[in-house]
């Protein structure tokens, strides 16, 4: 029987390599990757997943060529603007985590629009990590904590200062393209998350590949540090 995680997190890796192997510019891989993201979002909704977090743009991605970064944000803005009405109709909520002080104003405008338009949707929450880094999130939380005046704190209280406040920790983390590392993604939140590493590039990660990950997850016995 297929066990459905309540929360799935995904490191969408391999867009550039997918394009390179086909003699295409890197942005072509990103365009194809967006199609797969849409397919996975709708598949998760169909399967009954409650939360899906996608690693969209990391704090380290600013090191990429300026032309690629510009093209990425243009793709991000255009796609969201086009798809928000459909996502709202499908009852899918959009939420964004990460820093907002370095993003283009046009990107922030689209993000605000997407969150406002879908805020009352309840079928599936899709969380897009934009200018996000796990260490950066923890540092930002510590600074909020210092400003709060609290002298002593528990794990539960600290979690209230993090980006995913109110959202359950991921049950399953999927990374594509054969890489086996977390790359500064959700460092606090994945302490007891199950990992699944797929050999396929993200543009080839179809609904069928998602099912493979869920089949593997269904065979896991989660102990959370306890002896069962």
Check 13, 131, 163, 171 and give the catalytic one: 13
Identify how many contiguous H helices and E strands the chain contains and give both numbers.
7, 6
Structure tokens at 54: 């996608």
- The answer on whether 181 is annotated among ligand-binding residues is yes
- The answer on whether 17 is annotated among ligand-binding residues is yes
Query: Could you give the CA distance from residue 183 to residue 197 in angstroms, rounded to a whole number?
Result: 13
Query: Could you give the CA distance from residue 127 to residue 130 in angstroms, rounded to a whole number?
Result: 9
- Is 61 catalytic? The answer is yes
- The answer on whether 58 is annotated among ligand-binding residues is yes
Is 126 in a helix, a strand, or coil?
strand
- The answer on whether 183 is annotated among ligand-binding residues is yes
- The answer on whether 62 is annotated among ligand-binding residues is yes
Alpha-carbon distance values, 219 to 4, 115, 196, 211 (Å): 11, 36, 12, 13
- The answer on whether 222 is annotated among ligand-binding residues is no
Which residues make Cβ contacts (< 8 Å) with residue 76, sequence separation at least 6? 56, 57, 107, 110, 130
- The answer on whether 175 is annotated among ligand-binding residues is yes
Query: Could you give the CA distance from residue 53 to residue 69 in angstroms, rounded to a whole number?
Result: 21
- The answer on whether 60 is annotated among ligand-binding residues is yes
Q: What is the largest CA-CA distance in the chain?
A: 56
- The answer on whether 18 is annotated among ligand-binding residues is yes
Is 158 in a helix, a strand, or coil?
helix
Where do we find the tokens 């995904």?
10
- Is 78 catalytic? The answer is no
- The answer on whether 13 is annotated among ligand-binding residues is yes
- The answer on whether 26 is annotated among ligand-binding residues is yes
- The answer on whether 182 is annotated among ligand-binding residues is yes
Contact 173, 196 (CB under 8 A): yes
Check 61, 184, 204, 216 and give the catalytic one: 61
Residues placed in the known binding site for substrate? 14-18, 26, 30, 58-60, 62, 64, 175, 181-183
Where in the sequence numbering do the catalytic residues fall?
13, 61
Residues placed in the known binding site for Mg(2+)? 13, 194
Residues placed in the known binding site? 13-18, 26, 30, 58-60, 62, 64, 175, 181-183, 194
């Amino acid at each position: 029987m297929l066990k459905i995680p309540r929360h799935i997190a995904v490191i969408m890796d391999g867009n550039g390599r997918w394009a390179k192997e086909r003699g295409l510019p890197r942005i072509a891989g990103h365009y194809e990757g967006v199609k797969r993201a849409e397919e996975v979002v709708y598949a998760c909704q169909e399967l009954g997943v409650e939360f899906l977090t996608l690693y969209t743009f990391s704090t380290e991605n600013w090191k990429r060529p300026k032309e690629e970064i510009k093209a990425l944000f243009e793709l991000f803005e255009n796609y969201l603007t086009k798809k928000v009405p459909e996502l709202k109709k499908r009852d899918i909520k959009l939420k964004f985590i990460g820093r907002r002080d370095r993003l283009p104003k046009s990107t922030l405008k689209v993000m605000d629009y997407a969150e406002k338009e879908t805020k009352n949707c309840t079928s599936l929450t899709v969380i897009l990590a934009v200018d996000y880094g796990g260490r950066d999130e923890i540092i930002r939380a510590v600074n909020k904590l210092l400003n709060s005046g609290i002298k002593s704190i528990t794990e539960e209280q600290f979690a209230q200062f993090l980006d995913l406040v109110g959202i359950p920790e991921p049950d399953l983390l999927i990374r594509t393209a054969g890489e086996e590392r977390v790359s500064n993604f959700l460092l606090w939140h994945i302490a007891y998350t199950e990992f699944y590493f797929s050999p396929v590039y993200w543009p080839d990660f179809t609904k069928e590949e998602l099912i493979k990950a869920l089949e593997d997850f269904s065979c896991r016995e989660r102990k959370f540090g306890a002896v069962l």
